Structures are given as structure tokens and as C-alpha cells.
Homo-oligomer: A and B are copies of this chain.
Amino acid sequence: MRAAGIILAVATLALAIPLHAAGVVDNVNGIALDRDGKLIHFDALIIDDQGKITKLVQGKVEEPRSREKKRRKKGDDTPPAPSYSFRLDGQGRTLIPGMIDAHGHVMGLGLSLLTLDLTDTKSLAEAQAKIAAYVKDNPGRKWILGGGWNQESWGLGRFPTAAELDAVTGDVPTWLERVDGHAGWANSAAMRAAGITPATKAPAGGRIETAAGKPAGVFVDAARGLIDRVVPPPAPKDRDLAFAKAQYLLLSQGITGIADMGADLNDWQTYRRAGDRDRLRVRIMVYAKGIENMVAIAGAEPTPWLYGDRLRMGGVKLLMDGALGSRGAWLKADYSDAPGQRGLPLMTGAQLRNNMSRAAMDGFQVAVHAIGDQANAEVVDAIAELSETYKGDRRWRVEHAQIIDPTDLPRFAQNGTIASMQPVHEASDWRMAMARMGEARLKGAYAWRTMLNAHVPLAFGSDVPVESSNPFPGISVAMTREDAKGEPAGGWMPEQRLTLEEAMAAFTRGGAYAGFAEDRFGTLAPGEQADFLIIDRDISTTRPAEIRNIQVIETWIGGKRVYVKGETAPVETQPNEITGISSP
């Protein structure tokens, strides 16, 4: 019904193009969702001088010149309509709404992009070559940081040594994390900077690898702290660079908005510096890392929308439990593969409620990380209790909402609670989840269809940099429950699969709604920000498993082109003088 209304509006448009139209994008295969979540098709977009959508148009938008001729012919002597300040010919390509990542870590992504990644190296020699190239490409760095190495996959049969690192890094202090995060590899300059000598003792829970009685370069577990403490924190200019790189990557993947889940004051200051210098493109819905950062960033109430709907600090992120992989998720019964263990809550029930209250009383939104079924039950209980005091449109968010006991689901669906979920986690984790909990307890795991059926608003994201921020694999997984290799064939718990409309909605309007932004962006409809993508194929006719391969050709935010595939990245993504980058 809604789609028909839009077509009708379109029919009259060619005769009455609005006065404030600033631009037209036409000759496109336009695909969007209307406000009821139905797919609609259109051929052109008209954008006003504020960067907002005026109309979706079916058919050809008439040229101002031809309109003018017609107008004169009809004896119309009102002032002529202005011509557009820009007109983009889409050459028949597909245009879709910009994607919104409802749960990511923008600065975590950015800082990871500034460090060296050795995960794909197959030998020590290959790693050394990659490190040498990185040192050469980053001449100003005071520290070389990175990670991903694995002496097992190198077939080395031993840990690498400081000397092997010195050979390619020279005197630049270097500190590289093992792939599992449980060991670090330092060169001699890093050990000197940390004051490591043969007399240095490893702290409890740690081990210093030695050779001929001297520290050999690798520091295990708690001994890593001996080096960590001298690694300089990122300087503001490093953070600015990290942000620029993260933003560019997000735009290149079609992310036009993102909820930043757990920002500290340094992160916020970085976003403001970008905004103040007109370098903020992507829309960031900031959730502060805990109450202290919430107050430091925003003060006594959420910030207004800043920089033309590009930045707002509206809520707080709290953590109820850990993750399933490390058995930190808080479960109702023992881990199947670790009898006696149920994970641990990171807050007591009282702490959770106090923190939620503290945020809600000043009008901040609350987003709580909950993975295990017991953690989710606890958060649902707390939301029910707080909803008695904090009424109105609160939009309590549960981040991940990964394993829900089906008996808790009816309560989850109350009080307008939003499930902020990451489809790609399902594809990455289903085997591990089966090992941790067994099939019987996973009926409510990654249960997107069950959530939708229960009218729980869904907001999809990536948890970047834990997973790639690319939303198209997310849509594929949401539609197939298969991973990139097509496993398991037919999907894991395929009854939870979503349609294209449902997956796109959760990656667009759902993310906007979860950030109180649905009146500003997230839907291609009149009055909304003109945030859209030109992509390389028709998403509505692409096989679900192939959607993951969609490439973004152009990204537009607020009616302005902010990314073009193949064009050089903006200058602010290039380092000039790096002072030192710590791990994210």
C-alpha cells in the first residue's frame, strides 16, 4: 500500500519539481524498503539542498530545459524552477540505502588498521619480509606494533627470537602479539625500552623465554605486561589517522552509519576533531564505555545531534558477561565441554541495575552486552524492573543477545527491548557453540526469525573489528545461515533464516531505530537524509549466498558523494608523522 502511494507521488512529480531541489540521481535501478519494510523499486532520487530526500521517482525525471519549454508553451509566467546543482546519471546501476552497522568499534577498527598484520604469513622468512616492508613503508613510527604470528603455522618448532626481529627492524622498538593474544614477540630495542635484563623476573602467571640465560624475545601471558607498559598510547594525531582509515574502510563497504559500542573520551574527542574540521562523513551513534565516560563525554544528558546528524552520544554500553569462545559467557547450566563451569557475570544484579538507573535517570539509552542464556535472563529481568520507573520510549538494547533460553523469550519481547545482533557471528561460531552447549540448549541461539516473530526489533551489525564490517556477508548469512564456504549446506538451524527485506531492514532502518535516528536516516523516504549506495549488481536478484560478494561503487551521505571505488583515498588517511601506536 505504501509503495503505491510513493508511485502516485512520483507521477505528479515531473510536473512539479520542488523549488529547493539541489540534485538528482537518475537512471538507477533503485531498490529500497518503505516504512513498512516492503521492497520498492524506483528510477531516480531527488535530493534537496539540505542533503535530504525530496522524492523517489519512477520513470524519467524531466530536464529543466524541457520543463521550461512546456511551461512557456502553457503561458506559465511564474518564476522558472532552478536547475539542479548536480545530476548523477546512474547508468542503470543498482542504488540501495546506505547500510547501518548497529554494533561496531570504530576506533578499535582504526587502530587495528595502523598496525602490522602477520596472520597470513606461512614462514618466519615470509613474516620477516613483511615486517621489513612495513618498517620501510612507515618510516616515522616510534614503535612497530602488530600481531597475528604463529610459529606453529610457520613450521618453526620453536618461538622466534629478538635477533630475528632485529635483523629487519633495526633500532625501532617492535612488539608483535601472537595470534592467540597469549604471547608477544619483542625486538632488542623494545626490551631495552622496557628495561629488560637477564635479571628481570617474570611476574606470576607469566614466563620470559630465554636463550643462553638471557631473555630471548618472547614474553608469555602475564610477562607481556613488562613490555606493554612502555608502549606509548596513541597520540591524538595517531587517533586522527586511525579514525580516517576506519571511516574510509567503512564508506568503501557501504556503511553510512554505525553505532560505536563503548567509546571513551579519547574516542569522542577524535570524532569531534573530525567533525570540527569537516572530515566526519559516516554517521556515528556513540554509546559510552560505562557511566564515567558517559558523564565525561556528554554531561547531564545526551548530546544533541551534531554536524548535520553525523554524531551523537545518546547512551551507555554496559557488559553483563564475556564471550562463548573463552567460556566467559554466563550460562544457566554448565558448559557441555567444561563441566563445573558456567562462566561469570561481570556485574552483580545490583550493579547492573544501579548503572542502568544512573543512565536512564538522565535520559541516556542503555545497551547491555549479554551473550549467555543466564546473562540474557538477568538483563531481561533488570529491564522489566527498570521499566516500571523509567517509562516512555526507552529502547533498551541487548547487545549480541546471542543465546536466549526460549522460556525467556516472551519476556525479552516486552518493554520494547531491541535485539542488537551480528549475523556473521553465527557463521563463525556455530560449531563452537555446539561444542560449548550442545544442540538442545541452542534453540534460542542467534534466533533472528524467532525474535522477529515475537516482534522484537532487530538491529544488525558486525562487532567490527572482531569481524569484518562489510555488511554484505552479514546479509548473506542472515539469509542462508551458511558460512563463506557454504557450510553447513542448507544452513545451521535454517528455520531462523530471514528474507532479503528482513535482513536489509535490520541493517538499515533497524539500526537507525535502535539509535533513535529513524526520523533522520536509515530509510530512503522523503525528509530522510540521502544516504545511499551504488552497487555492482541487483541485490534483489542476486542469489543469497552471492550477496556477500557485492561491491560498492559509490557511497553517498547527506546527498554528497563520499566514496568512489577506484579513486584515491583522501589525504587524511595517509600518515604524515606517526608518533607511536599501541594495540587497540
Contacts and interface: CB of A to CB of B under 8 A. Distances in A.
Contacts of A466: none
Given A276-B306, A277-B304, A304-B277, A239 B269 contact: no
Copies of this chain in its oligomeric complex: 2
A177 interface: no
Interface in A268-315: 269-270, 272-273, 276-277, 295-300, 303-304, 306
A236 interface: yes
Contacts of A296: 265, 269
Interface in A217-269: 235-237, 239-240, 265, 269
Interface residues of A, number: 21
Contact of A240 (B270, B276, B295, B300): B300
Contacts of A304: 276-277
A5 to B, nearest CB: 36
Interface in A492-525: none
A73 B272 CA distance: 55
A576 to B, nearest CB: 10
Interface in A7-30: none
A239 B299 contact: yes
A199 B544 CA distance: 76
A506 B350 CA distance: 59
A581 to B, nearest CB: 14
Contacts of A297: 269
Contact of A236 (B235, B277, B300): B300
A277 B303 CA distance: 8
A530 to B, nearest CB: 24
Nearest to A297: B269
Nearest to A236: B299
A307 to B, nearest CB: 10
A300 B237 contact: yes
A235 B361 CA distance: 14
A237 B276 contact: no
Interface in A515-546: none
Interface in A298-355: 298-300, 303-304, 306
A412 to B, nearest CB: 33
Interface in A525-571: none
Contacts of A306: 276
B303 A236 contact: no
Contacts of A272: 272
Contact of A299 (B240, B265, B300, B303): B240
Interface centre among A236, A237, A265 (most CB of B within 10 A): A236
B295 A236 contact: yes
A303 B297 CA distance: 17
Contacts of A276: 303-304, 306
A225 to B, nearest CB: 24
A576 B553 CA distance: 52
Given A237-B300, A272-B272, A276-B306, 10 more contacts: A236-B295, A236-B298, A236-B300, A237-B299, A239-B299, A269-B297, A269-B299, A270-B299, A273-B298, A276-B304
Which 6 residue pairs are nearest across A and B when measured between Cβ atoms? A236-B299, A237-B300, A236-B300, A273-B299, A276-B304, A276-B303
11 contacts: A236-B295, A236-B299, A236-B300, A240-B300, A265-B265, A269-B297, A269-B299, A273-B299, A276-B303, A276-B306, A277-B304
